[in-house]
Chains A and B, each alone.
Chain A
Amino acid sequence: NAGVMQNPRHLVRRRGQEARLRCSPMKGHSHVYWYRQLPEEGLKFMVYLQKENIIDESGMPKERFSAEFPKEGPSILRIQQVVRGDSAAYFCASSQQGPETQYFGPGTRLLVL
């Protein structure tokens, strides 16, 4: 049973470009969470999605960031017009039901030059 998959593992972008991060949850899991870890900090919640629905986006910056979890395919976290402050590790987690143990992917490390 494959775990949570994330790709790419590393992503380098120049300021102003777009970054797309992908997450495939564990088999049988329909709840996806995105977290961001800035250097020397803990993980911070960004957004919680179920298939085709955003349930809670209270941790998402109001501009440039968006997320989706389509009926088919992985969840996507999209960052438009990236800035250096977006450089961080972005982790996806999934669970079978919302309030339950979450299992994390390996993360995508975004570096903005």
Chain B
Amino acid sequence: DQQVKQNSPSLSVQEGRISILNCDYTNSMFDYFLWYKKYPAEGPTFLISISSIKDKNEDGRFTVFLNKSAKHLSLHIVPSQPGDSAVYFCAASDPGNTGKLIFGQGTTLQVKP
């Protein structure tokens, strides 16, 4: 039972353009979401998070949007840079208050120069 889904395995965009990575979830009790970026042979690096009391959070080139009614969130990267090429994971914090994270399968972003 995949509670967090990233339906696009890969995405390719041109440098300078916008990258939009999508994530869907099934459990309406999820109230905190995070995006992580991962390079090969490294651990995930925290990028940005959002609480369910908000619908948008922005940090520099990264913005996360949350649509609770659709159980959907997205990560926007503007402008995209070649160094953004990595695997991006969406995660939800378990509502049972342990803080364990439930991850999507990941989306591989390639930004072409």
Which residues in A have some Cβ–Cβ distance to B below 8 Å? 4, 6, 31, 33, 35, 41-45, 48, 55-56, 59, 91, 93, 95, 97-107, 109
| Interchain nearest-CB distance for A19 vs B (Å) | 18
Question: Main SS of chain A's interface residues?
Answer: strand
From A4, A42, A101, A106, B34 is in contact (CB under 8 Å) with A101
Q: Report the number of A-B residue pairs with Cβ-Cβ less than 8 Å.
A: 68
A33 touches B99 (CB 8 A): yes
Top 3 nearest A-B pairs (CB, nearest first) are: A98-B99, A104-B43, A99-B99
Query: Once the chains are docked, how many angstroms separate the CA of A45 from the CA of B99?
Result: 11
Cβ of B99 and Cβ of A102 under 8 Å apart? yes
Is there an interface contact between B43 and A45, defined as CB atoms closer than 8 Å? no
Contact A99 B93 (CB under 8 A): yes
Q: Are A105 and B97 in contact (CB under 8 A)?
A: no
Contacting pair A104 B99 (CB below 8 A): no
Question: Contact size class for B?
Answer: 20 to 34
- Of the candidate stretches B12-20, B56-64, B73-81, B100-108, the one touching chain A is B100-108
B65 an interface residue at 8 Å Cβ cutoff?
A: no
Write out the residue numbers on chain A whose beta carbons fall within 8 Å of the beta carbon of B43. 4, 6, 91, 104-107
Question: With an 8 A cutoff between CB atoms, is B44 at the interface?
Answer: yes
In contact, B103 and A56 (Cβ under 8 angstroms): no
B99 touches A42 (CB 8 A): no
Q: Are B99 and A31 in contact (CB under 8 A)?
A: yes
B25 within 8 A of A: no
Asked if B28 CB lies within 8 Å of chain A CBs, one says: no
A31 to B98, CA, bound (A): 10
Contact A101 B49 (CB under 8 A): yes
5 new A-B contacts at CB < 8 Å, known A6-B43, A42-B106, A93-B101: A59-B100, A99-B98, A100-B99, A102-B101, A104-B45
Residues in A whose Cβ lies below 8 Å from that of B98: 48, 55-56, 98-99
Interface centre among B44, B49, B96, by most chain A C-beta atoms within 10 angstroms, is: B44
Contact of B105 among A42, A91, A97 (CB under 8 A): A42
Q: Are B100 and A56 in contact (CB under 8 A)?
A: yes
